Amino acid sequence: MSKCEQCIVREFSSLKTLTKDELITMSSCKTATTFKKGEALFVEGENVNGVFCIKAGVCKMTKLSANGKDQIVKLTQKGELIGQRSLISDEPANLSAIAVEDMEVCFIPKSDILGFFNNNNAFSMSVMKSVCGDLKEADDTLVNLAQKNVKERLAQTLLYLEDNFGIMEDNSLKLQLSREEIASIIGTATESCIRLLSEFKKLGLIELNGKKITILDKAKLKRMVE
């Protein structure tokens, strides 16, 4: 098991504000585990009782809607912490966290995280800023759903996937989401998402090869969003 004080991943989250002694303490109390694609780290309504630090892989944060479908509200990746809101509010998880690809994570129990939270002002402030950032992101998502049409939301999502998760050697999007997952992000039916992707292909904006999506005209996609 890797030591927290030697882990590069912590530099991407609030954990970078912890002292060396606190990181050594964390190493002794954390639990390292793996999740296969499709497995849940936790589900909506569950008591999480700690936070997860993502060492590798991507997971989707989903909210169950009134019609029984999951809406993807965020994609989280290496270096991010999840479960912070439940930790602070002392409430069950408001979202589910599902592995989009195989993941390596470390789980830090609530009692230990709260100890750092209470004794390290820089850590507690960093966690609060992260939670506020999530709230801002949720607000932006609501505005996009209300003010942008589905084509604009698809264009924005494709740009987001390239900018935040990168591309493969063949220039296709590195994070390969199913059509159903993309539809869940943009708030439409899977069939509508498939039609729109085909339309984007005909317009020369993207290339489709099975599950692979390659952006061909980033400038036009940006103009579509603006």
- pTM to 2 decimals? 0.84
Name the residue with higher pLDDT: 101 or 139.
Answer: 101
> pLDDT at position 6, please?
60
Packing angle, helices 20-29 and 110-119, rounded to 10: 170
CA count, 13 A, side-chain hemisphere, 147: 9
> pLDDT at position 4, please?
67
Q: Which of 117, 115, 74, 67 is nearest to 94 (CA)?
A: 74
Tokens, residue 197: 């992707």
Kind of pairing between the strands at 206-209 and 59-64: unpaired
Q: Which of 25, 221, 5 is nearest to 116 (CA)?
A: 25
Q: Are 187 and 71 in contact (CB under 8 A)?
A: yes
Sign of the Cα torsion 169, 174, 177, 179 reads: negative
Kind of pairing between the strands at 59-64 and 50-56: unpaired
Query: What does the domain layout of the chain look like in residue ranges?
Result: 4-145, 148-225
CB atoms within 10 A of CB 28: 9
Distance, CA of 221 to CA of 3 (rounded, Å) = 43
Tokens, residue 46: 């569950």
Q: What is the CATH number of domain 148-225?
A: 1.10.10.10
**pLDDT for 67-115, tens place per residue?**
778 889 899 988 888 988 888 888 899 999 999 999 999 998 988 888 8
Please name the fold of domain 4-145.
Jelly Rolls (2.60.120)
Distance, CA of 112 to CA of 50 (rounded, Å) = 8
Tokens, residue 65: 């809607």
> pLDDT at position 81, please?
87
Q: How confident is the model at residue 145 (pLDDT cuts 50, 70, 90)?
A: low
Residues in contact with 102: Cβ distance below 8 Å, sequence separation at least 6, in sequence order: 34, 35, 36, 37, 56, 57
> pLDDT at position 191, please?
96
Tokens, residue 169: 């050697």
- Residue 12 Cα distances to 17, 49, 135, 149, 179, angstroms: 10, 22, 19, 33, 29
**pLDDT for 159-190, tens place per residue?**
999 999 999 999 999 999 999 999 999 989 99
